[in-house]
Structure 1
Amino acid sequence: MKILIIQQKMIGDVLTSSILFEALRLKYPKGQLDYLINEHTVAVVENNPNIDNFLLFTKEAELSKAKLLKLARSVGNRKYDIVVDVYSKLSSNLISLFSGAKTRISYHKYYTSLFYHYNIKREKNNNGKAGLAIVNRMQLLGPLGIETTFIKPKIYLTEEEISTSKHFLENHQIDFSKSLYMISVLGSGGKKTYPFSYMAEVIDTLVKETSGQILFNYIPKQETEAKTIFDLCKPETQKNIYFHVFGKSLREFLAITYHCDALIGNEGGAINMAKALNIKTFAIYSPWIDKATWNLFENDNNVSVHLKDFKPELYTKPEKKFKNEAAELYKKFKPQLFTNKLKAFLK
């Protein structure tokens, strides 16, 4: 049995969809399970024992119809029995069709019956704690006789990565007898980034409550923005921030985060990765993001806050409809609204 899962897009999506491989491996222990993903997301699923091969959706394929067609034909040459398309956009529709697989599964859209044998309607309400992102992905395996279950995404670090990152932190004067926190100071874009001055207040509260050591999650090109948040923190807080201690690659970030007591900050890929490492998380949602979809496995160790939790009267339409109003809504999402919840989490 040869099975291909397609999940283009961002790191968080790729990590979350990796749960399908654990379920498929139980059903098909000797099957070939392959994953088609964007090339920049491989690090988050590297070393996953349930994935046999990676097929990469390159920038060239994204920009060139000819390259996309070449990729689709190469998938067809692999003779997959089953294709599960989690991405379900035009490029993956084409790849699925060219695969020639006898069983093709994706989400329901008005036109998807042209490409897939099974078109699964997404759940819109979730009464459990797994999050709709988990629930809807697991539904895609229903046609294969795999019952819906709640599998947590997992990240697989090597012992060498864990050891190397610990030495790196020790060499930068991190004291493992004290608490250590990773801060997701920046979101994936301006509309998913908590206002800088508000984030500084959150970090001030964190240090005041715990006297903990603080690391910032950012990449070199974001240093100016991260430094702005650092400068907005109180002087006594700045003393606890190890600003220049960060991972220069995604795997390095993951290995460093493994040693932290919690990851706190903007909801997004970093939060999902921390959960997959079994690190406690406190997520601050953008006002236009649907919390019901991405509050994966919410419990005392994984806490999240959303403006809608505190000011539901503002939401006269679905969250996504407020995307262009994110800046104005963020102004209303003051840290004081959730300070007590943050303190309870820290305790």
Structure 2
Amino acid sequence: MKILVIQQKMIGDVLTSSILFSVLRKNHPDAELHYLINSHTLPVVEGHPDIDKIMLLTPEVDKSVLLFYNFLKKIRKEKYDVVVDVYGKWSSNFITLFSKAKIKIGYFKWYTQQFYTHPIKRHKISKNNQGLAIENRLQLLEPICERIPNVKPKIYLSSEEIIAAKQFLSNFKVDLSKPLFMISVLGSGANKTYPFSYMAIVIDTIVKVTNGNVLFNYIPKQEEDAKTIYSLCKPKTQQHIQLGVFGNSLRDFIAITYHCSAIIGNEGGAINMAKAIDIPTFAIFSPWTDKDTWNIFEDEKHNISVHLKDYKPQLLENKNGAQIKNKFKSYYSEFKPELFLGKLVGFLKSLTNNN
């Protein structure tokens, strides 16, 4: 049996959907398993033992009708028996249809259900702490898997990567005998980024409670924003922030995070990657993001998240994500750090007590 799983778009999505391969391998040990992803997301699934082949969709192919058509022909030549379309957008609809697979599985939508032999309706309410993002993905395997075990996303770092990251931190005089915190200071966009002044208060609190050191997760083009947040922190806090220490690649970031006590900050790919290497997380959700979908494996101890609706649910009543997103600044202004600092302090103390 030859199976293709399609998950385009964001790093967090690709990482989360990688759980399907562990389930597929347990149910179909001899199957050939392929994963179709966007090229920039490759680092989170490199070295995954249950993926036999990765099909990369590059930006060039994504933007060209001719190149995309050639890509479709390449997919058809693979002669897949099963296609599992997790992405569920027009591009993956066409890939699924063009594959000519006998079994085509995807999420139910009234306008695309004809593309699939098995259109699956999503759960709307989470039944456990896996989160809807996990639960709904696992549902897609029910037509072809008898056993659906509990699984969680995992990133596979090599021992060489872990050692190199430790040496990298040592070269920058990062004291690993003290607590070390990775801060997800910036979201994937302004509408998913906790206000800078509020984030500074969060970082001040981390240093005050733990006396630990702090690293910022950002890429070079975000340097000015990172510096702005740094400047808003108290002078004493700034002494604990090593602003120039960051990975040159996504794999470097993951390996550096492996040596951290926790990652704290904006919910997104960085938080999900930390969970996949068993690093404690404290995530701050944007007001318009559905917490029930992405609060993956929350346990109020090792993985914790906060959302405006946890504290001021009346502000979000009878409003959909798009409405909230259009006024994200207004909602973020209501999400003052004082609302959850007690929870953050409890999280930090539990980490230091365990150490």
Q: Please indicate the TM-score interval, normalised by the length of the shorter structure.
A: over 0.9
> For 1:162-241, what aligned pairs fall within 5 Å after superposition?
162-241=162-241
Q: Are the equivalent residues in 1 in contact too, given 2:43–2:250 (CA < 8 A)?
A: yes
User: Which residue is equivalent to 2:66?
Assistant: 66
- How far apart in 2 are the matches of 1:67 and 1:97? 17
- How far apart in 2 are the matches of 1:285 and 1:146? 35
1:38 aligns with 2:47: no
- How far apart in 1 are the matches of 2:285 and 2:93? 31
User: Which residue is equivalent to 1:115?
Assistant: 115
State the one-letter code of the partner of 1:59: P
Which residue of 315, 326, 329 maps to 2:328? Answer: 326
State the one-letter code of the partner of 1:304: S
- Calculate the aligned-residue CA RMSD, in Å: 0.9
Q: Are the equivalent residues in 1 in contact too, given 2:27–2:147 (CA < 8 A)?
A: no
Identity %: 60
User: Which residue is equivalent to 1:132?
Assistant: 132
Q: CA deviation at 1:147?
A: 4.0
User: Which residue is equivalent to 1:76?
Assistant: 76
User: Which residue is equivalent to 1:278?
Assistant: 278
- How far apart in 2 are the matches of 1:82 and 1:127? 27
State the SS of the aligned residue for 2:327.
helix
- How far apart in 2 are the matches of 1:214 and 1:40? 27
Q: CA deviation at 1:321?
A: 3.1
Q: Are the equivalent residues in 2 in contact too, given 1:135–1:148 (CA < 8 A)?
A: no
- How far apart in 2 are the matches of 1:290 and 1:346? 25
Which residue of 334, 338, 342 maps to 1:336? Answer: 338
User: Which residue is equivalent to 2:352?
Assistant: none
1:198-224 Cα deviation digits (max 9, x unpaired): 000000000000000100000011000
- How far apart in 1 are the matches of 2:291 and 2:146? 27
Q: Are the equivalent residues in 2 in contact too, given 1:134–1:150 (CA < 8 A)?
A: no
Q: Are the equivalent residues in 1 in contact too, given 2:24–2:145 (CA < 8 A)?
A: no
State the one-letter code of the partner of 1:324: N
1:67-96 Cα deviation digits (max 9, x unpaired): 111111110000011000000111111111
1:242 aligns with 2:253: no
State the SS of the aligned residue for 1:25.
helix
1:87 aligns with 2:93: no
State the one-letter code of the partner of 1:333: F
User: Which residue is equivalent to 2:353?
Assistant: none
1:260 aligns with 2:265: no
Task: Name which of structure 1's ranges 156-165 and 122-131 shifts more when overlaid on structure 2.
Answer: 122-131
Q: CA deviation at 1:175?
A: 1.2
User: Which residue is equivalent to 2:302?
Assistant: 301
- How far apart in 2 are the matches of 1:176 and 1:284? 25
- How far apart in 2 are the matches of 1:341 and 1:320? 28
State the one-letter code of the partner of 2:79: K
Q: Are the equivalent residues in 1 in contact too, given 2:34–2:54 (CA < 8 A)?
A: yes
State the SS of the aligned residue for 2:305.
strand
Q: CA deviation at 1:320?
A: 4.2
| Structure 2: 5+ residue stretches without partners | 350-355
Q: CA deviation at 1:332?
A: 0.4
TM-score, normalisation: structure 2:
0.96
Task: Name which of structure 1's ranges 61-70 and 12-21 shifts more when overlaid on structure 2.
Answer: 61-70
Task: Name which of structure 1's ranges 227-236 and 317-326 shifts more when overlaid on structure 2.
Answer: 317-326
State the SS of the aligned residue for 2:245.
coil
1:251 aligns with 2:269: no
- How far apart in 2 are the matches of 1:330 and 1:146? 44
- How far apart in 2 are the matches of 1:269 and 1:284? 12
- How far apart in 1 are the matches of 2:227 and 2:246? 13
- How far apart in 2 are the matches of 1:149 and 1:202? 37
Q: Are the equivalent residues in 2 in contact too, given 1:8–1:37 (CA < 8 A)?
A: yes
State the SS of the aligned residue for 2:105.
strand
Q: Are the equivalent residues in 1 in contact too, given 2:61–2:71 (CA < 8 A)?
A: yes
- How far apart in 1 are the matches of 2:215 and 2:6? 34
State the SS of the aligned residue for 1:9.
coil
- How far apart in 1 are the matches of 2:8 and 2:191? 22
- How far apart in 1 are the matches of 2:24 and 2:151? 11
Q: CA deviation at 1:176?
A: 1.5
User: Which residue is equivalent to 1:290?
Assistant: 290
State the SS of the aligned residue for 2:76.
helix
Task: Name which of structure 1's ranges 147-156 and 23-32 shifts more when overlaid on structure 2.
Answer: 147-156
Q: CA deviation at 1:326?
A: 0.7
State the one-letter code of the partner of 2:281: T
TM-score, normalisation: structure 1:
0.99
Q: Are the equivalent residues in 2 in contact too, given 1:290–1:320 (CA < 8 A)?
A: no
